[in-house]
Structure formats: C-alpha cells, structure tokens
Amino acid sequence: MEWIPAFAGMTGYVMSFEIAGLKFRNPFIVASGPATKHVSQLIEAERCGWGGASLKLAIEPAPYINLNPRYRWWDQEHYLAFSAETRLTPDEALRLTEQGREQTKDLIILANITYTGDKGLDGWLAMAKRFVDAGAHALELNMCCPNMSFNLKVSGERNRTAQSGASLGQNAEIVGMATKIIADAVDVPVFVKLTPEGGGIAEVAQACFENGAAVVGTTANRLAIPEFDIHNPKRGPFRFQDQPSMACFSGGWLKPLALRDVFEIRKKVGPAPCVLGAGGIRNHTDAIQMMMCGADMIGICTEVMLRGFAFLPAILKNIEKFMVRHGYDSYRDFRDIMVEAITPADHLTIRDVVAYVEPELCDGCGRCTRIGHCYAITLKDQKAVVDPNQCTGCSTCQDVCHAKAISFVRR
Ligand SMILES: Cc1cc2nc3c(=O)[nH]c(=O)nc-3n(C[C@H](O)[C@H](O)[C@H](O)COP(=O)(O)O)c2cc1C
C-alpha cells in the first residue's frame, strides 16, 4: 500500500492512497447501508469528496428477508437500531454498480455481496464475477450482517436458512476459502467485512489475508435488544411494527467495541495489510482514534444517515490541522500508535496517590461520601475529609464531584 500526499481542490490537503492498484482520493468510504442504494446518493458522495462507497448489500438468490426499513435513533444513548431493512436483489445491485460507474468519476465503488443459495462457494464466485463484469472497482464480501441467519438463530429459529453474514463470518476456514476462490479468479481487490460475533475476528482476518484479501473491514452492526417501554413491553420500540424484535445497533455507542476489533486485527496481522475500520465514527477525533488503533481506511454509515454526506470536508480539514500540529506527513505516521501503547493489565504502572479535597471548593454535598466501594471520605463541618489510609486512589470521587473540589497528590 502506498501513501501519497495530494491536494483535493475542495477540501484542501488530504491524503490519497493506493491499495492493490486502486487509488482512493482519501481513506473515507460511505459504508454499506441505506445511503448507498441509489445512484443519486453515489453522485452526492462523490460531490462531497468521499473516497469510496460500499453499495447496499446484494443477496443472491433474492433476499429471503426484505422488509420495509424500520429505524430508530436514540440521541442520548448515541445508537441507531434497525429491526427491518431492504436489501438489493442482484439485478438491482448490478444496475446500481453500472450506473455508479457511468455517473461518477473519482468515487471507488465496492459491491457488498452475499450468496445464500445452494451452490456454495461456486455460487459466491459466480456472483462475484457478475459484479466485476458490471464494473465494481472492488468486491466487499459481506461476512458481517447480523440481521439474516444470525438474527434467526439468536431469536430462537435455528437452521432455517443458509448461513450468511455474522453466522458464516465466524468461521475462519470457510471465510478463507470464499476469499481465496474469489481473489484467485477476479482482477479487482477483494475486501472482506467481518463480524466480531464469535470472538475470533483477528483469526478470521488473518485467514482472509492469507487467502488473498486486499482489505479486511469491521465493524458492522451488533445484534441487541433496544430500549422498550416497561409498561407496554410487547409493543417494542419500532414505530409501525407490531412485535418487539432484535435489532442491529450502530452509531457512537459502537465505537469503543469497534476500536477494539480493529486493534485486535492489527495486532494479529501486523503492520502491512490494509484494515478498514467502521463503527461509531462521527468526527475527526473518532477517525483519528480509529487510525491510531490500526485502521488505514474509515467507513461511516449512521452519521451519513442522520446528517447527509456533506460533513466529510470538515473531517478532512480537521485531520489536516491535526497532522500539521503534530508534524505528521501521512496518516501512516500516526496509524498504530495505540497498537503499541495499549498495555496488558499485568504490566500497568499504577502510581501511588491519595485524594485531596480543596476545602474552599467543596460545597458539602456529600456525594463522594456515598461511593459504594470507598470508605475514605467523610463529612466534617460540611466539608469532605479524606482518610489517606483508606484511599486506594481509584479516583471515582473526582468523577462524582460536581464542584471539582477533588484532585490527587502523590502519597
Ligand atoms: C440501516 C443500516 C443498514 C446497513 N446495511 C449494511 C449492509 O447492507 N451491508 C454491510 O456490510 N453493512 C451494513 N450496515 C453496517 C454499516 O455499514 C456499518 O458497518 C455499521 O453501521 C457501523 O458503522 P456506523 O456506526 O458508522 O454506522 C448497515 C448499517 C445500518 C445502520
């Protein structure tokens, strides 16, 4: 992979890069979802400077679950959840691929595909070839969707359908085989989008790279149970949907888990392979954090659903400012900083400190005296007082003190 500093007229100084012969003008792609279903969206993504777009999942044979979408956004909790979603049929997605190629110039178009028919790997290969023929710059094998067979299994309906998405994606051997048979046969880069379900994402990623994947990506949505009304639980939270259900979670809530997924993959596969990180990216800080945990490329879906495409230039500008401030020439200079820095629990240096209360700031509210695991703080004359022999330095009191009266000093 080659990093090339470049100027992109609209956004100022950004970084383009090349992976397996494919040149992205920057590392940001609109991740597969409802914002990559129509050619008008691809045109808008290009206009707003996105490096690429992964088209909405195409399933062959035609998707066996294909309901009108039901989305909810929980603003305070920072998560979006969907219970139902419309996928593309192969014909719709092939047409979209062709239209995207005809009507955009700089946007790299990834075909996000899943085969669920009875032809197994041959079916995967035939499907992949059709998308290459339609003009896809790259393929993205969907080994991540939690809303098809994985949802059915978790919801209690076992083995009704062929394994796909988050069920199939846990199996390093099969994912590796699918990657190999396709990567050997097509002349475009193969991306594989993985699931953290099953706990072995780094091993699956390694199998993908060993079998010819150009890029491994994560994280897709996590399957979970959204908020519901305890007084009317069977109604569920989704508007115009009669039953409660599992839902696929994305957005800011997902970021800490997604950082871990990318970190684990990078730690396992080393510095050379290209990793695409998605999950809860909303601004330049999130994106930089993702890169510092090992990502070369960034995918964003939920934020585009909520805000449209036009926020990308601000992210690029702010990353540029960050790079200038720290003297970085390319994203590669700060990628992996956290991969090195994250220290195993048995090697942590824990400094010996004790809480100090500034009496003038303490308003005697008593919150710090009620901390369930702490016996070090009591109130005397309406002021918090610390017993240094009881204080472990855990620092919870600093977090609960609304008067900002607590700090820590060396013992
Ligand atoms: C409504 C919705 C539909 C999605 N559909 C797909 C899909 O078809 N294929 C896929 O690989 N990922 C799909 N995703 C996952 C996203 O591409 C992305 O990996 C995930 O949402 C995490 O990123 P985010 O927090 O920026 O949304 C979908 C996400 C949402 C919210």
pLDDT of residue 31: 98
The alpha carbon of 153 and the centre of ligand 1 are apart by a number of angstroms equal to 20
pLDDT of residue 308: 98
The answer to whether residues 386 and 330 belong to one domain is no
Q: Name the helix (H) or strand (E) containing 13.
A: strand 12-19
pLDDT of residue 8: 42
Secondary structure (3-state) at 217: strand
CA distance 395 to 378: 15
The single residue listed with the structure tokens 């046969």 is 185
The alpha carbon of 302 and the centre of ligand 1 are apart by a number of angstroms equal to 7
The answer to whether residues 245 and 379 belong to one domain is no
The answer to whether residues 206 and 306 belong to one domain is yes
Number of separate domains in the chain: 2
Would you call 185 exposed, middle or buried from its count of C-beta atoms within 10 A (0-12, 13-18, 19+)?
middle
Residue ending a domain, among 322, 341, 360, is 341
Give the DSSP per-residue string, 38-98.
SHHHHHHHHHTT-SEEEPPPEEESS-S--PPPEEEEETTTTEEEEEE---B-HHHHHHHHH
**CA end-to-end span of the chain, whole Å?**
50
The answer to whether residues 212 and 161 belong to one domain is yes
* Ligand 1 nearest-atom number relative to CA 31: 17
The single residue listed with the structure tokens 């888990």 is 257
Please give the residue range of the domain that contains residue 394. Answer: 350-410
Q: Are 40 and 23 in contact (CB under 8 A)?
A: no
**Residue 240 identity:** F
For ligand 1, atom 4, which residue shows the shortest CA distance?
33
The answer to whether residues 107 and 31 belong to one domain is yes
The answer to whether residues 354 and 337 belong to one domain is no
57 lines ligand 1 (CB under 6 A): yes
- Provide the Cα torsion 20, 24, 26, 28; round to 10°: -80
pLDDT of residue 348: 98
Distances (CA, A) of 276 to 188, 201, 253, 254, 375: 17, 13, 19, 15, 46
DSSP designation for 283: S
pLDDT of residue 42: 98
Q: Are 341 and 370 in contact (CB under 8 A)?
A: no
pTM value? 0.95
pLDDT averages per 10-residue partition of the chain, 411 residues: 46 72 95 98 98 97 92 96 96 98 98 96 98 98 96 85 92 98 98 97 98 97 96 96 97 98 98 98 98 98 98 96 94 95 97 98 98 98 98 98 98 90
Q: Are 226 and 195 in contact (CB under 8 A)?
A: no
Domain with 396 in it: what CATH number? 3.30.70.20
The answer to whether residues 255 and 398 belong to one domain is no
Secondary structure (3-state) at 31: coil
Give the pair of three-digit tokens for residue 46. 């290009």
Domain with 236 in it: what CATH number? 3.20.20.70
Nearest partner of 194 among 180, 211, 182, 207, judged by Cα: 207
Label the pairing between strands 79-84 and 247-250.
antiparallel
Distances (CA, A) of 328 to 17, 143, 268, 284, 323: 16, 34, 25, 15, 5
pLDDT of residue 2: 54
pLDDT of residue 162: 85
The answer to whether residues 231 and 368 belong to one domain is no
Residue ending a domain, among 341, 376, 392, is 341
The answer to whether residues 318 and 191 belong to one domain is yes
The answer to whether residues 280 and 371 belong to one domain is no
DSSP designation for 202: H
pLDDT of residue 10: 39
pLDDT of residue 14: 56
Q: Residue 66: phi, psi to the nearest 5? A: -150, 75
Give the pair of three-digit tokens for residue 226. 């959204």
The best mutation among 59, 282, 298, 301 to test binding of ligand 1, ranked by most ligand atoms within 8 Å of the C-beta, falls on: 301
Q: Are 26 and 15 in contact (CB under 8 A)?
A: yes
The answer to whether residues 166 and 185 belong to one domain is yes
142 lines ligand 1 (CB under 6 A): yes
Distances (CA, A) of 144 to 168, 216, 356: 8, 11, 49
The answer to whether residues 166 and 307 belong to one domain is yes
For ligand 1, atom 14, which residue shows the shortest CA distance?
33
The alpha carbon of 205 and the centre of ligand 1 are apart by a number of angstroms equal to 19
